[in-house]
Each structure stands twice: as structure tokens, then as C-alpha cells.
Amino acid sequence: MSAVDTPEKSTHLALVTTRHGGLEVMQVQQRPTVPPGAGEVQVRIRAAAFNHLDLWVRRGEPAGHWPTPIVPCADGAGHVVAVGQGVELPIGTEVAIYPVISCHVCERCLAEQPQLCDRFGLLGEHVDGCAQEVVNVSVRDVVELPSGLDLVVAAAMPTTFITAWQMLHSRAQVQAGQRVVVHGPGSGVGSAAIQLARVLGAEVIATIRKDADEALARDLGASEVFRNDDPQWPRLVRKMGGADLVFEHVGAATWQASIKALKRGGKIVTCGATTGFEVSLNLRKLFFHSISLLGSTMGTRSDLKTVIEYAARGLCKPHIGARFPLTKGAQAMGVLERREVQGKVLIEM
């Protein structure tokens, strides 16, 4: 296919973090629509999803780390409306956007580990994200959707589901029959982890902060649920034989209990630390019990393909908490910031 097919109108609406600050810095702006470059596709976005990262970028925390103005939202899905030179994807193809930015040419990118690329970044962080009607991305950074998968559902999945899949499948190599503890079924990554651990055939124990989350945890596939403020929960897990894996994304508040819940030879895999980065570690226990600590960040494009296929087969689904039109983007961000809903907050276009 040559040059550009059916270009979109010459401007489009975008939600923009104009500078660092409170919700007042969010504006909806008209942006020029640039034709896709060689190797790129132009996607008409149907829905985009916020992550907590969008809040840190807007607040400018940590200072000096995030450029503005920037369009938020790493996650989005839509259909192809134009293609650049050398791209053969048909117009109209429905796609989810792979949110990782990488160089595509280094050893790690070629080995399909772009999250280890020296130029690793995310859409909406250092490059404009999906909270706009039209976005141009490399054809290597989209995944075709199987028929029947709703674009809004696909838009809610990428970051949390590829993060959870990479942790469980590639890093911790969870096997059928293993016992996996997942904290926080109400969080995006916790919800994805419970469902994907079940897909892998693991037995899932969830820990919750409030009783109201128990039904959610069981609904997602947990067979046992403990309150994480009950200091007895690690002992109760060990009584069941101990955890093969604890799926960590909470950090300081749960770390010691997570270690205590492990069986000998157990693993902890972590992708975040919302309650604090500094923890202590008893090295004697680490080596004497042959414990493995695994760090993990994001996932690969094939991870995105895999989780999208699972969703199309009804094996997992994102929890969508609220949807707003693009023009109410600042309001949507406020709902996320004040934790007024559980589940992903989306903007639709």
C-alpha cells in the first residue's frame, strides 16, 4: 500500500496535561492530525484507559521526570484509518495499542524484551498517549483484535494484563497446581493476576483490605480469601502448604507477610510498591529457604496478544469502573485520583 490512505480530518481532539499541577491543568485541545509516517498506522481511538502513572505525570512526581504538555493514557484501542509507507494492515482493522516505547533495533528489542531496552518508555509518559481521537504508532506496536472483542474492553487491558502475565508466566513461570497469593483483587493488576493465574491452572489465595472485596476476589477465581491486616494470614497459608508464589505490587505494607507466606523454594514477583519502596530482608531466610525475588515491569507485545486472545475466549476480563466522554477527561481523572470507583477509568471517543 502506498503512502497514506483515507487521512483523518486535519485536526482532532486531545486531552492534554498542559503542565504539572492539579486537575485544573487538564484541557481538551484541538491538535493537528499528522499523516502516519513510514511504518506507522493511524488509529482512530475508540477508548483509552487511565493508569495511576497518569496522576504522577500530571503532579510532576518525582520532580523533573516528566515532560509536559503531554497527552495521557498508555492504554487504548481503536481502528486503523490510515497507514504509512510499507504498512499492509487493512484500513478498518481493529487494534489494541501496545503501550511500551522502545528502539526496535537493539539486541533486547530484537529478542522481544523491549521492556529491557535502554530507550524504554511508555505512551503518555514521554510520548503522547491514547487520550486523543487519533494517534500514530508503529505498526509493530499494535495488536490486531480477534473478532467479537469489544474495543472498550480491549482498551482497558494492556498495561495491567501484560504486567500480570509477564510476572506470572515469564518471570515466575507458574505451573498448574501451584499455590499463588495475590494481593488486592480490586486493583487493576491484582484483578488481572487472579484471573491469569487461574488460566495457568494455579490455586489462588487473595488478600483483601476490606470485607467487601471478598466476593470480588472469589468471583475472579480465588478459592481462599484473607484480610491482609490479619497478622495470621501468612501462617494460615503455610498451614495449607505455603505459597509457591506471592504476587506483589503493594510493597512495604505487605512485604514481610508475603515472605512469611512462602514455602521453601517459593518466589516473590513484584511490579510495584504503592505503600513504599523500602523493605527489610532477612538474608538467612532468603538463602536457607531458597527463596527467589523477581522484579518485573510491563510485558511484551506477544504478552498483549496472548491476554487479548484469552479475553476473546472469555477466560479473563478487565474490571471497568467508569466511562467518560473525552470532553470530561479531567473529571474522569478526578474519579481515579479520589478512588471513587474500583476498576479502570476510561474515556470514550
First and final C-alpha spacing in the chain: 28
| Closest to Zn ion by CB, 132 or 300 | 300
220 binds Zn ion (CB under 5 A): no
Looking at 33, 42, 51, 102, which residue binds Zn ion (CB under 5 A)? 102
Q: Of the listed pieces 94-102, 232-240, 249-257, 340-348, which binds Zn ion according to CB under 5 A?
A: 94-102
| Closest-CA residue to 347 (of 13, 2, 3, 112) | 13
116 binds Zn ion (CB under 5 A): no
| Closest to Zn ion by CB, 109 or 307 | 109
| Closest to Zn ion by CB, 113 or 331 | 113
Rounded distance between C-alpha atoms, residue 258 and residue 102, angstroms: 33
* Residues paired with 340 in a beta bridge: none
111 binds Zn ion (CB under 5 A): no
117 binds Zn ion (CB under 5 A): yes
Q: Of the listed pieces 9-17, 107-115, 203-211, 255-263, which binds Zn ion according to CB under 5 A?
A: 107-115
174 binds Zn ion (CB under 5 A): no
Q: Of the listed pieces 100-108, 177-185, 204-212, 322-330, which binds Zn ion according to CB under 5 A?
A: 100-108
Kindly report the backbone phi and psi dihedral angles of residue 239, in degrees, each rounded to the nearest multiple of 5, phi listed first.
Answer: -65, -30
In the sheet where 243-248 sits, what is the strand order?
Answer: 224-227, 203-208, 179-183, 243-248, 262-270, 292-295
Tell me the three cell numbers of residue 199: 488460566
How near is the Cβ of 120 to Zn ion at its closest, in Å?
8
| Closest to Zn ion by CB, 81 or 109 | 109
110 binds Zn ion (CB under 5 A): no
Q: Which amino acid is at 18?
A: T
Angstrom CA distances, 228 to 168, 205, 257, 272, 285, stand at 21, 11, 9, 17, 22
109 binds Zn ion (CB under 5 A): yes
- CB contact set of 133 (below 8 Å; sequence gap of 6+): 8, 12, 13, 14, 44, 45, 326, 349
How near is the Cβ of 153 to Zn ion at its closest, in Å?
30
| Closest to Zn ion by CB, 81 or 117 | 117
296 binds Zn ion (CB under 5 A): no
Angstrom CA distances, 78 to 154, 196, 201, stand at 9, 24, 32
How near is the Cβ of 139 to Zn ion at its closest, in Å?
17
Question: Under DSSP, is residue 29 helix (H, G, I), strand (E, B) or coil?
Answer: strand
How near is the Cβ of 158 to Zn ion at its closest, in Å?
19
Q: Of the listed pieces 117-125, 190-198, 199-207, 214-222, which binds Zn ion according to CB under 5 A?
A: 117-125
| Closest to Zn ion by CB, 113 or 292 | 113
207 binds Zn ion (CB under 5 A): no
298 binds Zn ion (CB under 5 A): no
| Closest to Zn ion by CB, 74 or 205 | 74
Looking at 55, 89, 106, 335, which residue binds Zn ion (CB under 5 A)? 106
Residue recorded with cell 479531567: 330
* CB distance 50 to 158 below 8 Å: no
Q: In sequence order, what DSSP letters do the residues of 180-239 get, joined into one string?
A: EEEE-TTSHHHHHHHHHHHHTT-EEEEEESSTTHHHHHHHHT-SEEEETT-TTHHHHHHH
Looking at 23, 34, 38, 103, which residue binds Zn ion (CB under 5 A)? 103
By CB under 5 A, the count of residues binding Zn ion is 5
Q: Which residue's Cβ lies closest to Zn ion? A: 117
| Residues found near Zn ion in the complex (CB under 5 A) | 102-103, 106, 109, 117
